[in-house]
Amino acid sequence: LPSLPAPFPTMGLLQKILIPVLGLVLAFCFYSSRENFKPEMLRGKRVIVTGASTGIGEQMAYHLARMGAHVLVTARTEAKLQQVVERCRALGAGSARLVSGSMEDVATTRQLVEVAETELGGLDMLILNHVGKSYFNYFDGDVGHVQKLLNINFLSYVAMTVSALPMLKRSGGSIVVVSSMAGKVGFPFTVPYSATKFALDGFFSSLRQEFSIQSVNVSITLCILGFIDTENAMRAAADVLLTSPAPKEECALEIIKGGTLRQREVYYRYASTKLPLLLRDWAAELLDLLVRQRYRPERLRAA
Ligand SMILES: NC(=O)C1=CN([C@@H]2O[C@H](COP(=O)(O)OP(=O)(O)OC[C@H]3O[C@@H](n4cnc5c(N)ncnc54)[C@H](OP(=O)(O)O)[C@@H]3O)[C@@H](O)[C@H]2O)C=CC1
Ligand SMILES: C[C@H](CCC(=O)O)[C@H]1CC[C@H]2[C@@H]3C(=O)C[C@@H]4C[C@H](O)CC[C@]4(C)[C@H]3CC[C@]12C
């Protein structure tokens, strides 16, 4: 008969075998896909980047330009987009174009797809990255705002996908969806935003399954980002969050790599996003507590 009570051999087994094996599997998945990326893979590729006038989207446009891609950027502010386009040309883009307009407006979606079709002759990658303005504070009960944000952050992603799908099917292309840790776990102070990001996961993860059943050769990459040092995010949350932000340039490159390698999901930064998520299904309350500890609510701006 064993001299120890039942739980001890189980814990020993966990520590000695399961945890190292899990670590090895994760390390393998992470490194095997990252090492294969080559910037030449993007040369001559036709890419749409939404929300490209600032932040991560702008940086993605510059990386793509350096890699020799044909970039088509979009956002509402035409003057900023014009500067992005000029810089993309200077960095060596195959070509650089813009379409300005709000993603709330179907005319913008239509125009983007038309430009890709007629001027680029098709599309290889659709990077959905734009995000509507919201507040960083306790939920204020404004249902209209939730609806507006769902239109911009979710429904327009669906509309762009539907319109671009025929071109992406022809090229065997990729859809890249920029989401957030706040789209996988409940984070405080971004309730409407969080809802839109959870919706993206539901829609695109489900669509990926259907593509697989129907042998549709279009990849879907969902990007789970932590706190990134873009101007808007820093302004909204830097005082309240105890997390230090990651650089937008590196973040942009990791998104492009993941999309190009047709990865199912990108986690950036890996250790501060993927690892906490391992707790989600087994110790959700602990994860909630750890998340709350990274916030200083007393520093929230008065609404
Ligand atoms: N920064 C962070 O810490 C994190 C960011 N993310 C995600 O990364 C992505 C990029 O974030 P980030 O770079 O910080 O965002 P920014 O606020 O810097 O950029 C948002 C972009 O979206 C555009 N945009 C805003 N409203 C509209 C609209 N109605 N129609 C079309 N375009 C619009 C803006 O341009 P314009 O105003 O000219 O229209 C801008 O180009 C987002 O999807 C965000 O959710 C995820 C987790 C963390
Ligand atoms: C997911 C982030 C927290 C991750 C972490 O703790 O590691 C969110 C915390 C702050 C959010 C951003 C913010 O408040 C500013 C923008 C507000 C916009 O309406 C939405 C995009 C934001 C960039 C938003 C993105 C998620 C956070 C970074």
Digit-by-digit pLDDT tens for the chain (303 residues) are: 445 555 555 556 666 777 777 777 776 666 555 569 999 999 999 999 999 999 999 999 999 999 999 999 999 999 999 999 999 999 999 999 999 999 999 999 999 999 999 999 999 999 999 999 999 999 999 999 999 999 999 999 999 999 999 999 999 999 999 999 999 999 999 999 999 999 999 999 999 999 999 999 999 999 999 999 999 999 999 999 999 999 999 999 999 999 999 999 999 999 999 999 999 999 999 999 999 999 999 999 887
Q: Contact, 58 vs 231, CB < 8 A?
A: no
Backbone φ, ψ for residue 141 (5° rounding): 80, 5
Q: Is the dihedral of CA 66, 47, 126, 111 positive or negative?
A: positive
Residue with CA at minimum distance from ligand 1 atom 28: 102
193 included as an active-site residue: yes
Q: Where are the alpha helices (DSSP H) in the chain?
A: 7-13, 19-35, 55-66, 78-91, 106-115, 143-150, 156-171, 191-213, 231-237, 248-260, 270-277, 284-292
CA distance 271 to 264: 17
Could you tell me the distance, in angstroms and rounded to a whole number, from the CA of residue 210 to the centre of ligand 1?
Answer: 28
Of ligand 2's atoms, which has the minimum distance to the CA of residue 294? 6
Cis status, amide bond into 269, omega within 30 of 0 = yes
* Ligand 2 pocket test, candidate residues 139, 148, 180, most atoms within 8 A of CB: 180
CA–CA separation, 105 and 13 (whole Å): 57
Q: What is the interface pTM, i.e. ipTM, of the complex?
A: 0.95
